[in-house]
Amino acid sequence: MPHLKVRPFETGKFDELIERGELCTFRGIPVEEAPVELLGIEDGEGAPFLLEIKKREEAYLIRCDKITRPLDVGRIKRALTKLAKRAGLEVLHSNLQHSEGKPPLANEFEKGIRDFENPEFPREKVALEVGFGSGRHLLWQAKEHPDTLFIGVEIHTPSAQQVLRQIHLQGLENVWVLNYDARLLMEMLPSNRLEAIYVHFPVPWDKKPHRRVISDAFVAEAERVLRPGGVLELRTDSENYYRYALEVFSHPVKAEFLVEKNRELPVVSKYEARWRRMEKNIYTLTFRVLEESPTRENPGDFHFEGTLEESRLAALPSRAVVEDGYFVHFGHRYRFADGSGGIVECSFGGFDRPEHKYLLYKEGRMDYFPDRPVATVTNARAHRRIQEMTHGR
């Protein structure tokens, strides 16, 4: 990850940039003893993000914070370069030039989870691939079917970046890439809209089944978002996962499914190639939706109501609050150097698909940073609890 190591300096230097509205928007000073400060960055290239300044005696380390990190590392590099120049930092070491020469990311096809709130798809036909990995199958499908929009969702950031480079190199125009948890995306998609969902070689997670992509909840969402006749295609080499999926696929009543052993596809993914070399059986389970589903209801708007009294924040529990089906956990708190507000780390939502955000408050108003949570029923319940704990109602 791009970073700068600089000679220790007075971080108050950034306040001038903040006042002039140049690149930085606020400086967060930890409320509890912690050697990290946060710097709000607005570069005009996308959603705002945070840089963290880790103070060590010999050098300060400046890098992007994990919760708000943009996919395009070029943005982080440009911000760090500008920051060092404008604040006159003495750079001891940096890794800002190392990846030069790599093809650029096709940024226009990189989507954020919020783009799926009321999505306008540029094609009538839409398909989804979950966990595309190296992207062989996704890119092949997109090339074969230019009339279909292929949405690829992948939780592993370097894989998403690699596929965005390939989209640029291959000049494709019908792929959207989302670097997020597929299980949350499923809850966002409109009903009766997708032609197909591909889940090829998901991680079996035999020891942590709650991390599996396929579950009763996932299949129920698939049933809702697929149009009648649309299919969910699962391929796996794991006997265990196959048996598990067989049971999950048999629960919905408004769908039928088919099992095939060692069906070949015209494109062989990286994982499939490995299993074939090992002569493993490959199972394909195809789940076909038979009926229309009701339209998706928006579970809430995620605004905070009322004025925030900052004194309430000091009383927030440091341990996770666990309720039936969701949790809320408050992390580090930072106050803005100019006294106008602050920012609090907060994780919440479902146990198997938590959201990680900041709560930013300024002049009595609170909002999520860098953007609002995904509008799911579970997140809406967690949000109401956060509202209660921070605003007392």
Ligand X SMILES: C[S@@+](CC[C@H](N)C(=O)[O-])C[C@H]1O[C@@H](n2cnc3c(N)ncnc32)[C@H](O)[C@@H]1O
Q: Which spans of this chain sit near ligand X (rule: CB under 6 A)?
A: 130-134, 153-156, 159, 181-183, 200-203, 213, 269-272
Query: Which token pair is 238?
Result: 């794991």
- Contacts with 137 (C-beta within 8 Å, 6 or more apart), sequence order: 129, 198, 200, 265, 267, 269
**Least spacing, CB of residue 172 vs ligand X, in Å:** 18
Closest CB to ligand X among residues 204, 341: 204
Nearer to ligand X, 157 or 250 (CB): 157
**Cα–Cα distance between 228 and 232 in angstroms, integer?**
12
Q: Are 391 and 308 in contact (CB under 8 A)?
A: yes
Nearest distance from residue 360's CB to ligand X, in Å? 27
Nearer residue to ligand X within complex by CB, 83 or 213: 213
Q: From the CB of 379, what's the least distance to ligand X, in Å?
A: 16
Backbone angles phi, psi at 184, to 5 degrees: -75, -40
Residue 331: C-alpha distances to residues 90, 239, 359 (Å): 31, 40, 10
Name which of 41 and 182 has its Cβ closer to ligand X. 182
Amino acid letter, 330: F
**Residue number, nearest CB to ligand X:** 131
Cβ closer to ligand X: 155 or 377? 155
The answer to whether 390 touches 366, Cβ cutoff 8 Å, is: yes
CB of 282 to ligand X, least distance (A): 10
Concatenate the DSSP letters of all residues of 188-240 into one string.
HSPTT-EEEEEEES----SS-GGG-S-SHHHHHHHHHHEEEEEEEEEEES-HH
Give 177 or 380: the residue with its C-beta nearer to ligand X. 177
Please, which residue, 2 or 135, has the CB nearer to ligand X?
A: 135
The minimum distance between CB 258 and ligand X, in angstroms, equals 20
- List Cβ neighbours of 242 (8 Å cut-off, separation of 6 or more): 236, 283, 285
- What gap in Å lies between CA 148 and CA 47, rounded to an integer? 28
Q: Work out how close the CB of 305 gets to ligand X at its nearest, in angstroms, rounded to a whole number.
A: 32
CB of 199 to ligand X, least distance (A): 8
Cα distance between residue 180 and residue 106, in whole Å:
17
